[in-house]
Amino acid sequence: MSSGREITLHPATHALVMRFATALMEKLSSAEQKYGRTTDWAKDDWEVDCQRKLMEHIAKGDPLDVAAYAAFCWHHGWSTSQGDIKYQPWDCAGRKQELPEPGECDWPMCGCDPRANKVIAALQESGILSEPGKDY
């Protein structure tokens, strides 16, 4: 998407953008080969999942993965603001196990879901989630 205006960048900034674009293309190429997907990102039916993956990759800390999911959101015009993301409810592993008192489970902070535990730990480590147990 070009605005039609001339783009001028300092040579060092231009070099940075080109190096990053090349690294991102290499990362996406590897992912296409590894997972056998090519243009799945172009589908319109995965907004929530794409936004969730973006947040997960921010927590993991790989700028190339973050850039890939940000690019997918950009392509579709989807928000990348954490406040705008439409989260779908997750199933609590404790509830699936039919705990005696499933109402006592405060997923995802309950500790019964190893995936949630990893994401929460990464968010806490990065400072994004500063108050354990607080509803956001």
Q: In the chain, what percentage of residues exceed pLDDT 70?
A: 66
Q: In the chain, what percentage of residues exceed pLDDT 90?
A: 40
Of 81 and 15, the structure prediction assigns the larger pLDDT to 15
| DSSP secondary structure of the chain | ---SS-----HHHHHHHHHHHHHHHHHHHHHHHHH--SSGGG-SS-HHHHHHHHHHHHHHT-HHHHHHHHHHHHHHT----GGG--PPPPPPHHHHTT-S-GGG--TTTTS--HHHHHHHHHHHHHTSS-STT---
Q: What is the pLDDT of residues 61-119, one digit of tens each?
A: 899 999 999 999 999 999 988 776 665 554 555 555 555 555 556 656 666 666 666 77
The pTM assigned to this predicted structure is 0.62
Instruction: Name which of 9-18, 40-49, 88-97 the model is least confident about.
Output: 88-97
Whether the CA torsion 73, 78, 81, 84 is positive or negative: it is negative
In this prediction, residue 78 carries a pLDDT of: 93
Whether residue 28 is predicted with pLDDT greater than 90 in this model: the reply is yes
